Amino acid sequence: MPAIETTELRKRYRKIQALDGVSLTVQQGEIFGLLGQNGAGKTTLIKVLLGVIGGWEGSVKLLDEPAGSSHIRTRIGYLPEDHNFPDYHTGYSLLDFYGQLLGMPGAKRAKRIPEMLELVGVADRMHYKIRSYSKGMKQRVEIAQALMHEPEIVFLDEPTDGVDPVGRREIRELLLRLKQQGTTIFVNSHLLGEVELICDRVAILRKGKVIREGTVASLTQQKGFFLVGLAPEESFPAVEVQNLGYAVQPAGELWEVQLIEGQTIDPVIALLTTKGLHLRHLLEKRQTLEDLFLQTHQKESGHPAGSRDSYDEIIDLKRAQGGRR
């Protein structure tokens, strides 16, 4: 049973087709990354999955249940990109507030809140006002609120926004631990290097359509390029490889061999073996996720930037998760 499944999902805002036939499947226990420029439809897709907006066409299921049902909302967590929460709260009182919206008993909240703040590294500041927190600390507290009720699926919109490099690594490690525990994580982020480090699969959205989808490894594989390295003191026979019909150029201590359509790397390996050379490095070259993303967006989207999530929206969601409107 997939954790998330959409089929031919469409959503229109008057003249704007925000989602245009989006079909996605996210497996349970997977970290899935959603990429796209501003206005691509990412926020709209997340809102549909959360059941925050209606008026869409197609099929949307979370854990084999229709999206938006109160039963499903109690099983998901959400971190919005823009969380302008009241800064008169402390870290502790903010989580207590959301725990109440979720319908968590007082004894459970009292036990769970310190655990969550310890998990995200803010336990020593739990009774300080949020107005005194750095942006990175606020982000950590918001991750804690998304995980308060031990959800089966967590939606994270820019989870490492404003966090320093050490903090980003700690958040990555936290997400990987959650994955090991079976939690499904749906990440929306502009930090493509972060996505590449943690996501199992990604989808690129453009003008409301999925234009690329797959594992990070398969999408970043740059077909037709190999990096070749020989033992120290041995010289790469660049001219002879070129005579075989390959394009060759140095790449630091290695050599980049480009294959033309229909070629394989085998004749190059055979040549090196015949000459008694010792192959020490052979790797099919990969591009970064950022390279892939930029290649798929050579022309900018014509859509205006999408609307941002607000404090009121997450309160509405939490109330719905607790069964209250």
Residue 304 has pLDDT above 50, yes or no: no
Cβ contacts of residue 236 below 8 Å, gap of 6+?
228, 230, 255, 277
117 plus 232 within the same structural domain: no
Helix (H) or strand (E) holding 11: strand 4-13
Q: What is the pLDDT averaged over residues 86-112?
A: 93
Percent of the chain with pLDDT over 70: 90
Are 260 and 191 found together in one domain?
no
Amino acid, res. 97: F
| Mean pLDDT value of segment 22-34 | 95
Does 309 lie in the same domain as 259? no
In the chain, what's the furthest Cα-to-Cα distance? 77
pLDDT, residue 222, reads 63
**Residue span of the structural domain in which 158 resides:** 4-207+301-321
209-218 long-range contacts, CB within 8 A, separation 24+: 209/20, 209/21, 209/22, 210/22, 210/23, 210/24, 211/296, 212/292, 212/296, 213/24, 216/289, 217/286
The amino acid that residue 180 corresponds to is: Q
Residue 295 placed within a domain: no
Over range 280-309, report the average pLDDT: 63
DSSP per-residue string spanning 117-131: HHHTT-GGGTTSBGG
For residue 140, give the CATH number of its domain. 3.40.50.300
The enclosing domain of 245 has a CATH number of 3.30.70
The percentage of the chain sitting over the pLDDT mark of 90, rounded to a whole number, equals 54
Measured CA to CA, the distance from residue 256 to residue 213 in angstroms comes to: 27
Does 84 lie in the same domain as 196?
A: yes
Q: Point out the least confidently predicted range of 51-65, 71-85, 171-185, 287-301.
A: 287-301
Does residue 296 sit within a domain?
Answer: no
For 133-175, the pLDDT digits (tens) are 988 888 899 999 999 999 999 999 888 877 888 888 888 899 9
Domain count, the chain: 2
Say whether both 41 and 130 belong to one domain: yes
Residue 255 has what pLDDT? 93
Q: Report the alpha-carbon distance of residue 193 to residue 216 in Å, rounded.
A: 11
pLDDT greater than 70 at residue 307: no
pLDDT at 322: 55
Distance of CA 15 to the CA centre of its chain: 29
pLDDT-based confidence at 123, cuts 50/70/90? very high
Q: Do 242 and 148 sit in the same domain of this protein?
A: no
Query: For position 2, what pLDDT does the model report?
Result: 94
The more confident residue out of 241 and 217 is 241
Domain co-membership, 83 together with 179: yes
**Nearest-angstrom CA–CA distance, 208 and 210:** 7
**Mean confidence (pLDDT) of the chain:** 86
* CA proximity to 321, closest of 80, 102, 54: 102
Say if residue 46 is in the same domain as residue 177: yes
Please report the pLDDT score of residue 297 as a whole number.
64
Clarify whether residues 8 and 157 are in a common domain: yes
54 and 139 in a single domain? The answer is: yes
> How many CA atoms lie within 13 Å of 167's alpha carbon, on the beta-carbon side?
18
Give the number of residues written for the chain: 325
Same domain, 175 and 252: no
Record the pTM: 0.75
